[in-house]
A and B are shown apart, each in its own frame.
Chain A
């Protein structure tokens, strides 16, 4: 028969054990977490992140691969980096850069210019020249941009486009019924997106927020949306499922990949390394990466490593 002391001991022990286990489990260092897509947080040195350049990205596959490509190369060159989980939208990324929570991100020239309040054009050089002073105002710098571009693309299902005889964006005004545009929620406020189609093309589109990536294509297939604001390097374009509608009135702007970073972390070695990668990336590479991550479900980390190895960029 258990007496009171034994019972008390049992109770105390069991409570202590469980609390202890849970406390140990939860109070450990969270920094060694890895993202579910395999984007590892790399670092050099004895686990300190104080001097490491924090790289992050937006929340879609191409951005994750870009962050990995630049990050792994920088690390290979001996520069301490900390590749972090994706932050979110451009609005959130720039806020993080402002708040000194982030050091480096890979942006797209024209889209960044538009976000910062400038006037981007379809010309890459003009857009880059417009970008630099805008960044300087915010204490940021940009290294050389890449020739690789991934701009906005208004896409539709190939079958739908053929049925309705649509090849350019202007053709959309000839289609019967209300068309719904699908895109990320940020698209609602951005000038090259919903508003732009209204102002430049006179299209009165309804809007539906869908996660940027394969869900957009799923929405197209389900006819939830008829056209979608997607990326020009989308893998579904190369497989022929969706087709990009020609931007005959020049709404879409140049969107070269360009590293944007805080002036505080700017060093000649960093810029040299960034330029090396920027010079090596092409638009076909971006499309191939998207094919690998979105269709073949490979990890961004692996895709990045493989590309770096294939291009003899790793030591």
Chain B
């Protein structure tokens, strides 16, 4: 990217941001005197209030736990499912339909139903894991399917066993798509964790619900920005892993 184009993008971004802030203040419908007592964002909540860093970190940790654990379990389960699909081709439509159905069940409902049988955390993790299944299985299978036939034939020609071929040829070549799937699943789960607030969890989204209930927009802004930041950070970290793990595929893989 040329310096000029970078400059253009930067100017456009700054202009958009400024417009956004002005529009937010306009659109939030606040009169002058309420601006004083109930501003859109109280900076002192974030910077001077003592308890804020601890609370923020505590919620981030809970949010992370509710993201990482379901994704990890999802990876294990999806690997199993993908292996089964690759072996028994007819399972493909069955598994995808089932996972697709799980995906359409609204998360609030799944949380609320599961919590009557399990504890809050177990219910949340189970529900979130089920949402990762569709994304991960789809990407795992697509990744392995996309391995060029020529590479498979070459592996067979070299006399590799089935498992050697899987380990040395198919998985490495499928890695970009697999890692992309993990990245998409992670970012999706970060967004869904918030809904577990209905069962008294919720991570960073507690700020959003609390702010809504108390008409305290500072909390809502804080929660929104923190959640988005967390998702962006995880996205970047996973892209980094993707880049490191596949040195032969160092081109931009379309998301």
Contacts and interface: CB of A to CB of B under 8 A. Distances in A.
The reply to whether A and B meet directly (CB within 8 Å) is: yes
A306 to B, nearest CB: 15
Given A14-B245, A295-B37, 11 more contacts: A11-B244, A30-B62, A34-B51, A36-B207, A211-B212, A213-B215, A215-B212, A293-B214, A294-B215, A297-B42, A297-B214
Interface string B48-60: 0101001100110
Contact of B247 (A7, A218, A295): A7
B74 to A, nearest CB: 14
Contacts of A115: none
Interface of B: 37-38, 42, 49, 51, 54-55, 58-59, 61-62, 64-65, 68-69, 200, 206-207, 210, 212-216, 218-219, 237, 240-241, 244-245, 247
Interface in A163-211: 211
A26 B65 contact: yes
In the A-B complex, the 7 residue pairs with the closest CB atoms:
A214-B215, A26-B65, A33-B58, A34-B55, A14-B244, A213-B213, A22-B68
Interface string A66-93: 0000000000000000000111100000
A165 B203 CA distance: 47
Contacts of B206: 35-36
A26 B244 contact: no
A36 B59 contact: yes
B47 to A, nearest CB: 15
B245 A11 contact: yes
Contacts of A249: none
Nearest to B204: A36
Contacts of B49: 38
A18 interface: yes
B213 A211 contact: yes
Given A36-B59, A87-B200, A218 B51 contact: no
Contacts of A297: 38, 42, 214, 216, 218
A143 interface: no
Given A214-B213, A215-B213, A35 B61 contact: no
A7 B248 CA distance: 11
Instruction: Say which size band chain A's interface belongs to.
Output: 35 or more
Contacts of B58: 30, 32-34
Contact of B214 (A26, A34, A37): A37
Contact of A38 (B37, B51, B69): B51
Given A38-B51, A214-B215, A299-B51, A30 B61 contact: yes
A40 B55 CA distance: 9
Interface string A12-23: 001100100011
A18 B179 CA distance: 14
22 contacts: A2-B247, A15-B245, A18-B237, A23-B68, A25-B61, A26-B61, A26-B65, A30-B62, A34-B54, A35-B210, A36-B219, A37-B214, A38-B49, A40-B51, A60-B213, A213-B213, A214-B213, A215-B215, A218-B215, A294-B214, A294-B215, A297-B38
Contacts of B200: 85-88
A213 B214 contact: yes
Nearest to A92: B200
A27 interface: yes
Interface string A35-77: 1111010000000000000000001110000000000000000
Interface string A291-303: 0011111010100
A28 interface: yes
Contacts of A26: 61, 64-65, 68-69
Contacts of A38: 49, 51, 55
Nearest to B51: A38
A27 B72 CA distance: 13
Contacts of B62: 30, 33
Contacts of B215: 213-215, 218, 294
A36 B55 contact: yes
A296 B216 CA distance: 10
A81 B38 CA distance: 34
Most buried by B among A18, A26, A213, A299: A26
A2 B245 CA distance: 13
B115 to A, nearest CB: 10
B134 to A, nearest CB: 23
Interface in A262-306: 293-297, 299, 301
A297 B213 CA distance: 12
Contact of B55 (A7, A15, A35, A214): A35
Contacts of A36: 55, 59, 206-207, 210, 219
B61 A61 contact: no
B244 A10 contact: yes
A87 B197 CA distance: 11
A28 to B, nearest CB: 6
